[in-house]
Amino acid sequence: MIPAKDIDALRALARSEKSVLGPDSDLSSYETGARHDKGKAALVLRPASTEEASDFLAACGARGLAVIPQSGNTGVVSGSTPDGSGTQVVFSLERMKPVFELNLRNRSVRVGAGMRLSELNARLEEHGLFFPIDLSADPMIGGMIATNTGGGRFLRYGDVRSNTLGLTVVLADGDGTVLDLAQGLRKNNTGVDWKQVFIGTVGSFGIVTEAVLNLELLPQQTAAALLVPASDDAVFDVLHALERALGSQLSAFEGMSGNAIRHALAHAPGLRNPFANGAVPETAILVEATRTWAPRDGELAIEELLETCLADIWEGPRAPLSDALTGRPEEIWALRHALSEGVKHAGHLFAFDLAFERGTLMDFLAYMRTALPAEFPDLEICDFGHYGDGGVHFNLSHPGGPPADLTAYEARLRDWVIAVALEKFNGSFSAEHGVGRKNQAYYSRYTPDAVKRLAGALKAATSPAQIGAAEFH
Amino acid sequence: MIPAKDIDALRALARSEKSVLGPDSDLSSYETGARHDKGKAALVLRPASTEEASDFLAACGARGLAVIPQSGNTGVVSGSTPDGSGTQVVFSLERMKPVFELNLRNRSVRVGAGMRLSELNARLEEHGLFFPIDLSADPMIGGMIATNTGGGRFLRYGDVRSNTLGLTVVLADGDGTVLDLAQGLRKNNTGVDWKQVFIGTVGSFGIVTEAVLNLELLPQQTAAALLVPASDDAVFDVLHALERALGSQLSAFEGMSGNAIRHALAHAPGLRNPFANGAVPETAILVEATRTWAPRDGELAIEELLETCLADIWEGPRAPLSDALTGRPEEIWALRHALSEGVKHAGHLFAFDLAFERGTLMDFLAYMRTALPAEFPDLEICDFGHYGDGGVHFNLSHPGGPPADLTAYEARLRDWVIAVALEKFNGSFSAEHGVGRKNQAYYSRYTPDAVKRLAGALKAATSPAQIGAAEFH
């Protein structure tokens, strides 16, 4: 769907045959997203260095080719796949991974944007270090930066933004300008912190090819528990009590709806029902405590510490807990990690990635338990997520498969859920997946004109060529 | 120095007589910076609300008046005082402080930019919370955001940027456009995170009038020690050992040069010399451990924990410590906090606020101990700072007062020190004070053209009127 001479010109710039996959190749893995989206790529570019990326991007700009940056392609908002037009060039970062420069004294590493999170952490393990973003999926670093992922240990380590020390970025400005923002400094206030512009903006302002990342010490001790809160209100009493009692030894506070748990138990092989008499509660909380040091004399073992804290909470004012189950951390996390796959079996899934102020999240969920059945009686709420930081994967499932009028139904559902989240509960329509075709309409609807105008000017200054699945102006 | 009709027009917009201080008032406190700078203000505007700030800024833009935002005015780079021309309007945030909205469940507070750090923390104390940026000075929140301060507990809590959840900003765009970026969400990836543009950029892109800040739990237990490292190299061995042994119970790792300590001991009344036989070492390190919980059974007291860790380090490989002194935390911090005032008595002071990758900082200091005397034999190095995150207040004192040829001497000195820091050691010329008239030349010299061009476009899009002491294009 793009002229052969354009393809030839890109091939002439390629440093390797592997750098360009033409329309004659099988491109389907680059065209298919993680959830219900399938587009058509005109071509796939796969540069292996910043210089090659720069040449490709300059050429695409000069030839008016629309570019969609893609790395691990694990997102759920259609932010990294081409649309159905067949005119968009997928710019894959998967070969951008030879760079791996570890700086132990700075506790940092410089990596290519195409490195998988799992590979990065495997290579860091022998040094007792890790990149502390914990996700169920296995994305590449480039996509993690493009969406500013948070994940399951956000409340302990923060998001990708707060763990990014530097970036190398290629602009889609016709010249393929390379911005070297890749100093590994922790403190540097000499003007605009330009790297911030490229974090969480799905590649629309430029493509990240390398990053300098903060590393953390691998935990040496871990304990976990499953809690059943006595009420929605009790969730925050428990969180506050744990934050005070454990300090930053508290490393996860994850919420799970009873529905999500039931689907996981039904579909994950070997997963044990941990609840008393097998009775799945309406809401359960996974709590994790970790320490960077090995057990030492004169100190409560971490399991004892967590049990002591939970006993204090149990006996404390307002009795916030109905149950508290301790167990092997791997087993407790196995339930949490089975939710994402489990809910896919619940029927046709509509996924929302919402965030609220921490105190508001439970109010939103309580409201939805009443309001949703009135509007959409067929749907089941299968939410789970990061209650400790206000994030929730608000999954709604339509049992038995998609509704007959899927497109209209989905549009009406998305409009309604996001209106409730934003207008009634002052929330965000994208906690950690960024903006893609699936939620573009909500950016357009809910972003103030002054902000859109600024984004348009920023786009014109950085990457005026067509790049990225989202439009921010 | 500005037309009377302009002053009259601004007075007509004022909500109170206190909002405009004319040239007939004593403006000296607004004209004088913390270190050796004295300018001349045409007028001082002191709005008490975002609306009044917006009206003032619009009017200044329409009348072509240059505006210098100022809050606590505690910085050292001439970033918040007017130049000597007498044509600049000081835009003081000191009356922007009625707002104080605490959200306990979100662990956040919305405050006016004119609130002092000390007042904020005094008001938070009864709730067991604090804004975790620890500084020797007592700035206002607006200035802390404008410079992205780090301070003495950066390695535990991060900088202002990582503790800012939202901002309200007034643009100098002729209309006084108000950007409401003040949601208190911890996760929100719905486009450019615009608040980042206004953090660390000294007001040049817009004036912050309100902020939503992350709060942390006040420590309930604190222990501290003074360490004497056996060598420069040993500093990082000790840091790494403490990071592993204490995890994020490690809350400060501050370096102090022997010269800075000697001046503090000579000039701070009642300060005790803690070192064996009073022998001040070449370098000492202040280490602090804190916990958010009260002492509990079955757990080492924090003093014992710190002593145990230090004993392990003492006996460990490479014997990195020559001495380790524990004591009351207040007493140990008293030495650290006396340095800033102490070095002012050392002679005429040239202050540099530098940052490096953590591992490089000690290399820079070692280099300077040899290279500086060869270039500037009169100067004494009185550095101290935040070794745990690579930041150093690299103070150089000229004993007995300023050199005869002060202006030329200072220019030559600054050029040389900053060239060494940036060109040889890949550092930053401003760790936590931002850019002002005093270091503008280094922004201009060391910033790549592509970045300056972007900054110019961003300035044109946000605040094209004359605002801020720095020029980033």
Q: Nearest-CA distance from B462 to chain A in Å?
A: 7
Which two tokens mark A473?
A: 């102006």
Token output for A334 = 């196995």
Taking CB atoms and an 8 Å limit, are A298 and B293 in contact across chains? no
Non-local (6+) Cβ contacts of A178 within 8 A are A50, A51, A54, A168, A169, A170, A171
Q: Are residues B189 and B231 in the same domain?
A: no
Same domain? For B105 and B202 the reply is: yes
**Chain A residues with CB-CB distance to B304 below 8 A:** 298
Q: Is A93 left (phi over 0), alpha (psi -120 to 50) or beta?
A: alpha
Contact between A10 and A176 under an 8 Å Cβ cutoff? The reply is no
Structure tokens at B271: 């300060």
Burial class (CB in 10 A: 0-12, 13-18, 19+), A49: middle
Please report the ipTM that was assigned to this predicted complex: 0.96
Decide if pLDDT at A1 tops 80.
Answer: no
Q: What is the pLDDT of residue B280?
A: 97
Average pLDDT, chain A: 95
Can you give the CATH number for the domain in which B258 is found?
Answer: 3.30.70.2190
Q: Is residue B253 part of a domain?
A: yes
Collect all residues of chain B within an 8 Å Cβ-Cβ radius of residue A356. Answer: 185
Q: Kindly list the residues from chain B whose CB atom is less than 8 angstroms away from the CB atom of residue A187.
A: 150, 154, 159, 355, 386, 389-391, 428, 431-432
User: Which residue of chain B is at minimal alpha-carbon distance from A196?
Assistant: B196
Identify from A110, A164, A192 which residue to disrupt to test chain B contact, counting B C-beta atoms within 10 A and taking the largest count. Answer: A192
Longest Cα separation, chain A: 75
Which residues in chain A are closer than 8 Å to B429, comparing Cβ atoms? 190
Rounded to an integer, what distance in angstroms lies between the CA atom of residue B171 and that of residue B201? 13
| pLDDT (0 to 100) of residue A460 | 97
- Give the chain B residue nearest A199 (alpha carbons): B192
Q: What is the mean pLDDT of residues A398-407?
A: 94
Q: Provide the shortest C-alpha distance from residue B119 to chain A (in Å).
A: 23
| Alpha-helical regions (H) of B138-231 | 141-147, 154-157
Are residue A67 and residue A128 in the same domain, yes or no?
no
The minimal CB distance from A162 to the residues B104, B158, B391 is found for B158
Sorted by sequence, the CB contacts under 8 Å of residue B345 that are 6+ apart come out as B263, B266, B267
The sign of the torsion formed by the CA atoms of B139, B141, B143, B144 equals positive
d(C-alpha B156, C-alpha B161), whole Å: 14
Q: For residues A352 and A414, what is the distance between their CA atoms, to the nearest angstrom?
A: 8
Q: What is the largest CA-CA distance in chain B?
A: 74
Which residues, 6 or more positions from B333, have their beta carbon under 8 angstroms from its beta carbon?
B224, B286, B288
Other beta carbons within 10 Å of B387: 28
Q: In this complex, do B358 and A105 lie within 8 Å of one another by their Cβ atoms?
A: yes
Residue with tokens 């609130």: B115
Same domain, B318 and B396: no
Bridge-based pairing of strands B88-92 and B41-45 is parallel
Q: Which domain holds residue A118?
A: 100-217
Q: What number of other Cβ atoms are within 10 A of residue A72's Cβ?
A: 23
Average pLDDT over residues A137-142: 95
CATH of the domain at B414: 3.30.70.2740
CA nearest to A256, candidates A224, A287, A222, A223: A287
Does residue B463 sit within a domain?
A: no
Which one of B183, B244, B447 has the shortest CB-CB distance to A191?
B447
**Taking the mean position of all CA atoms in its chain, how far away is CA B423?**
24
Q: How does residue A138 score in pLDDT terms, banded at 50, 70 and 90?
A: very high
Which helix or strand (DSSP H or E) is residue A338 part of? helix A329-344
A178 and A206 share a domain?
yes
The CATH number of whichever domain residue A115 belongs to comes to: 3.30.465.10
For chains A and B, CB pairs below 8 A equal 263
Residues in CB range of B182: below 8 A, 6 or more apart: B110, B166, B167, B168, B210, B211, B212
Residues B293 and B234 in one domain: yes
CATH of the domain at A59: 3.30.43.10
> 3-state class of B24 per DSSP?
coil
Q: What are phi and psi of B79, to 5 degrees?
A: -100, -10
Specify whether the CB–CB gap between B57 and B172 falls below 8 A. Answer: yes
- Asked if the Cβ–Cβ distance from A461 to B462 is below 8 Å, we say no
Give chain B's residues under pLDDT 50.
none
3-class secondary-structure state, position B374 = helix
Residue A56: inside a domain: yes
- Tally the residues of chain B: 473
Both A86 and A112 in one domain: the answer is: no
Same domain, A298 and A376: no
Check: CB of residue A222 under 8 Å from CB of residue A289: yes
Looking at the domain assignment, is residue A256 inside a domain? yes
Show the tokens assigned to A43.
């071509």
Does residue B385 belong to any structural domain of this protein? yes
Amino acid at B221: Q
Tokens 């939805």 sit on residue: A368
Count of beta carbons in the 10 Å neighbourhood of residue A276: 11
For residue B297, the model assigns a pLDDT of 85
CB atoms within 10 A of CB B35: 15
- Going by pLDDT thresholds of 50, 70 and 90, the confidence category of residue A318 is confident
Whole-number pLDDT of residue B318: 86
- Residue A36 pLDDT > 70, yes or no? no
Concatenating the DSSP letter of every residue in B248-284 gives GGEEEEEEEEHHHHHHHHHHSTT----SGGG---SEE
- Statement to judge: residues B119 and B195 lie in one domain: yes
Report the distance separating Cα B463 and Cα B468, nearest Å. 10
Mean pLDDT for the stretch of residues A433-452:
96
B155 and B196 housed in the same domain: yes
Question: Is B433 in Cβ contact with A106 (below 8 Å)?
Answer: no
Q: What is the 3-state secondary structure (H, E, C) of B72-95?
A: CCCCCCCCCCCCCCCCEEEEECCC
Do residues A353 and A409 share a domain? yes
A168 pLDDT higher than 70: yes
pLDDT attached to residue A37: 81
pLDDT recorded at residue A316? 85
- Name the domain count of chain A: 4
pLDDT tens string A40-50: 999 999 999 99
A201/A259 same-domain check = no
Backbone angles phi, psi at B41, to 5 degrees: -90, 140
The answer to whether the CB atoms of B461 and A458 lie below 8 A apart is: yes
Closest to B392 in 3D by CA, of B269, B285, B471 = B285
Contact B189 A430 (CB under 8 A): yes
CA distances from B157 to A22, B73, B134, B160 (A): 49, 24, 10, 9
Query: Cα separation of B219 and B217, whole Å?
Result: 6
Contacts of B355 in chain A (CB under 8 A): 185-188
CA dist., res. B268 & res. A332, Å (int): 56
Predicted local distance difference test score (pLDDT) of residue B36 = 66
**Which residues in chain B touch residue A161, judged by CB atoms under 8 angstroms apart?**
193
Mutant choice from B189, B196, B214, B462 vs A, greatest count of A C-beta within 10 A: B189
**Domain-embedded: residue B458:** no
Looking at A64, A95, A126, the residue that finishes a domain is A95
Q: pLDDT-based confidence at A98, cuts 50/70/90?
A: confident
C-alpha distance from residue B418 to each of A221, A284, B33, B35, B343 (Å): 44, 55, 22, 19, 20
Residue B455 in any domain: the answer is: no
